[in-house]
Structure 1
Amino acid sequence: MRRMRGGGGDDRINTCLPEELIVEILRRLDSKPSHDACSLVSKRWLALERLSRTTLRIGATGSPDVYVNLLSRRFVNVRHVFVDERLNISLPVHLGSLARRRGKKSSSYNKSEEDGVETNSLSDAGMAALGEGFPKLEKLSLIWCSNVSSVGLTSLAEKCRLLKSLDLQGCYVGDQGVAAVGKCCKQLEDLNLQFCEGLTDACLVELASGVGKSLKSLGIAACVKITDVALEAVGLHCKSLESLLLDAESIHNKGVLAVVHGCPALKVLKLQCINVTDDVLIAVGTYCSSMEFLALYTFQRFTDKELRAIGSGCKKLKNLTLSDCSFLSDKALESIAIGCKELTHLEVNGCHNIGTLGLESIGKSCPRLTELALLYCQRIGNFALSEIGRGCKFLQALHLVDCSSIGDEAICSIAKGCRNLKKLHIRRCYEIGNKGVVAIGEHCRSLTDLSLRFCDRVGDEALIAVSQCSSLQYLNVSGCHQIGDAGLIAIARGCAELTYLDVSVLQNLGDMSLAELGEGCPNLKDIVLSHCRQITDVGLNHLVKNCTMLSSCHMVYCQGITSAGVATVVSSCPNIKKVLVEKWKVSQRTKRRAGSIISYLCVDL
Structure 2
Amino acid sequence: MKFRKLSKGYDLINKIFPDELIIEIFKCLGDKVSRDAVSLVCKRWLDLERLSRDTIRLGASGSPDCLVRLLATRFSNVKNVFIDERLSVFLPFQYGRRRGTHQSAASSVRLRVIDKFEDDIDPFSLSDDGLAAVADCFLKLEKLSLIWCSNATNTGLKYLAAKCTLLKSLDLQGCYIGDSGVTAVMENCKHLEELNFRFCEGLTDTGLVELANGCGQSLKSLGVAACSRITDVSLQAVGSSCSSLETLSLDSEFIHDEGVLAVAKGCPKLKILKLQCVNVTDGALQSVGGSCLLLESLFLYSFQKVTDKSLCAIGKGCKKLKNLTLSDCYFLSDKGLEAVAVGCPELTHLEVNGCHNIGAVGLEYIGRSCTFLSELALLYSQKMDNFALSEIGRGCKYLQDLHLVDCPRIGDEAICSIAKGCANLKKLHIRRCYEVGNKGIKAIGENCKRLTEFSIRFCDRVGDQALIAIGEGCSLYHLNVSGCHQIGDAGIIAIARGCPELSYLDASVLQNLGDMALVELGEGCPLLKDIVLSHCHQITDVGINHLATKCRLLETCHMVFCPSISSAGVASIATSCVNIKNVLVEKWKVSSRTRRRVGSIFSHLCMDL
1:159 and 2:163 aligned: yes
Partner of 1:507: 511
CA distance in structure 2 between the aligned counterparts of 1:380 and 1:321, rounded to whole angstroms: 16
CA distance in structure 1 between the aligned counterparts of 2:304 and 2:36, rounded to whole angstroms: 53
Question: Given the superposition, is the C-alpha separation of residues 262 and 15 from structure 1 closer, same or farther in structure 2, using an over 3 Å criterion?
Answer: same
Out of 243, 252, 261, the position equivalent to 2:247 is: 243
Structure-to-structure mapping, 1:28-107, within 5 angstroms: 28-95=28-95
1:183 and 2:201 aligned: no
CA distance in structure 1 between the aligned counterparts of 2:492 and 2:96, rounded to whole angstroms: 44
SS of equivalent to 2:299: strand
Out of 572, 592, 595, the position equivalent to 2:596 is: 592
CA distance in structure 2 between the aligned counterparts of 1:254 and 1:211, rounded to whole angstroms: 22
CA distance in structure 2 between the aligned counterparts of 1:503 and 1:10, rounded to whole angstroms: 53
Partner of 2:374: 370
CA distance in structure 2 between the aligned counterparts of 1:204 and 1:349, rounded to whole angstroms: 33
Shift of 1:375: 0.5
1:404 and 2:408 aligned: yes
Partner of 2:524: 520
CA distance in structure 1 between the aligned counterparts of 2:170 and 2:448, rounded to whole angstroms: 42
Partner of 1:300: 304
Contact 1:53 1:78 in 2 (8 A): yes
Instruction: After superposition, give the CA deviation of every residue in 1:240-267 in whole Å (9 maximum; x if it has no partner).
Output: 0000000100010001111111101000
Instruction: After superposition, give the CA deviation of every residue in 1:167-190 in whole Å (9 maximum; x if it has no partner).
Output: 111111111112211221111111
Partner of 2:16: 16
CA distance in structure 2 between the aligned counterparts of 1:132 and 1:542, rounded to whole angstroms: 54
Aligned length: 599
Shift of 1:157: 1.2
Contact 1:454 1:480 in 2 (8 A): yes
Letter in 2 for 1:38: V
1:196 and 2:200 aligned: yes
Shift of 1:460: 0.4
Question: Given the superposition, is the C-alpha separation of residues 501 and 597 from structure 1 closer, same or farther in structure 2, using an over 3 Å criterion?
Answer: same
Shift of 1:96: 8.3
1:139 and 2:143 aligned: yes
Give the stretch that moved more between structures: 337-346 or 140-149: 140-149
CA distance in structure 2 between the aligned counterparts of 1:458 and 1:96, rounded to whole angstroms: 59
Letter in 2 for 1:493: R
Partner of 2:26: 26
**Structure 1 segments of 4+ aligned residues over 3 angstroms from their partners:** 94-114
CA distance in structure 2 between the aligned counterparts of 1:108 and 1:227, rounded to whole angstroms: 43
1:359 and 2:363 aligned: yes
Question: Given the superposition, is the C-alpha separation of residues 590 and 158 from structure 1 closer, same or farther in structure 2, using an over 3 Å criterion?
Answer: same
Letter in 1 for 2:404: L
CA distance in structure 1 between the aligned counterparts of 2:277 and 2:296, rounded to whole angstroms: 20
Shift of 1:280: 0.9
Partner of 1:227: 231
Shift of 1:61: 2.0
SS of equivalent to 2:404: strand
SS of equivalent to 1:22: helix
Give the stretch that moved more between structures: 91-100 or 298-307: 91-100
SS of equivalent to 2:44: helix
Shift of 1:310: 0.5
Question: Given the superposition, is the C-alpha separation of residues 175 and 111 from structure 1 closer, same or farther in structure 2, using an over 3 Å criterion?
Answer: same
SS of equivalent to 2:521: helix
Partner of 2:479: 475
Shift of 1:112: 6.6
Letter in 2 for 1:60: A
Shift of 1:268: 0.5
Give the stretch that moved more between structures: 101-110 or 221-230: 101-110
Shift of 1:10: 2.4
Question: Given the superposition, is the C-alpha separation of residues 309 and 26 from structure 1 closer, same or farther in structure 2, using an over 3 Å criterion?
Answer: same
Letter in 1 for 2:476: L
Structure-to-structure mapping, 1:390-429, within 5 angstroms: 390-429=394-433
Out of 284, 290, 296, the position equivalent to 2:288 is: 284
Shift of 1:236: 1.1
Contact 1:66 1:103 in 2 (8 A): no
Partner of 2:6: 6
Instruction: After superposition, give the CA deviation of every residue in 1:16-44 in whole Å (9 maximum; x if it has no partner).
Output: 22212211111111111111111111111
1:332 and 2:336 aligned: yes
Instruction: After superposition, give the CA deviation of every residue in 1:210-263 in whole Å (9 maximum; x if it has no partner).
Output: 211111011111111110001111111111000000010001000111111110
Partner of 1:538: 542
Partner of 2:443: 439
CA distance in structure 2 between the aligned counterparts of 1:8 and 1:519, rounded to whole angstroms: 41
Instruction: After superposition, give the CA deviation of every residue in 1:276-322 in whole Å (9 maximum; x if it has no partner).
Output: 11011110111100000001111111111111110010000000011
Shift of 1:554: 0.7
Letter in 2 for 1:439: A
Letter in 2 for 1:63: S
Contact 1:438 1:461 in 2 (8 A): yes
1:150 and 2:188 aligned: no
Partner of 2:458: 454
CA distance in structure 2 between the aligned counterparts of 1:493 and 1:45, rounded to whole angstroms: 43
CA distance in structure 2 between the aligned counterparts of 1:127 and 1:471, rounded to whole angstroms: 48
CA distance in structure 2 between the aligned counterparts of 1:399 and 1:205, rounded to whole angstroms: 41
Out of 540, 545, 551, the position equivalent to 1:547 is: 551
Letter in 1 for 2:79: R
Shift of 1:471: 2.5
Contact 2:488 2:510 in 1 (8 A): yes
SS of equivalent to 2:472: coil
CA distance in structure 1 between the aligned counterparts of 2:70 and 2:394, rounded to whole angstroms: 59
Letter in 1 for 2:224: I
- What TM-score does the superposition give when structure 2 sets the normalisation length? 0.96
Contact 1:112 1:119 in 2 (8 A): no
1:564 and 2:568 aligned: yes
Shift of 1:58: 1.1
Instruction: After superposition, give the CA deviation of every residue in 1:512-566 in whole Å (9 maximum; x if it has no partner).
Output: 0001001001111100011111111110111121111111111111111111111
Partner of 2:102: none
Shift of 1:90: 2.9
1:580 and 2:551 aligned: no
Shift of 1:13: 2.7
RMSD of equivalent CA atoms: 1.8
CA distance in structure 2 between the aligned counterparts of 1:106 and 1:131, rounded to whole angstroms: 21
CA distance in structure 2 between the aligned counterparts of 1:23 and 1:548, rounded to whole angstroms: 34
Letter in 2 for 1:28: C
Give 5+ residue unaligned stretches, structure 1. Answer: none
Shift of 1:470: 3.8
Shift of 1:155: 1.2
Instruction: After superposition, give the CA deviation of every residue in 1:361-408 in whole Å (9 maximum; x if it has no partner).
Output: 000000000000000110110000110001000000000010011111
Letter in 2 for 1:430: Y
CA distance in structure 2 between the aligned counterparts of 1:561 and 1:112, rounded to whole angstroms: 49
Shift of 1:89: 2.1
Contact 2:142 2:167 in 1 (8 A): yes
Letter in 1 for 2:59: G
Letter in 1 for 2:25: I
1:322 and 2:326 aligned: yes
Shift of 1:103: 8.0
Letter in 1 for 2:445: G
SS of equivalent to 1:479: coil
Shift of 1:119: 3.9
Contact 1:343 1:368 in 2 (8 A): yes
Shift of 1:353: 0.8
SS of equivalent to 2:88: coil
CA distance in structure 2 between the aligned counterparts of 1:31 and 1:255, rounded to whole angstroms: 42
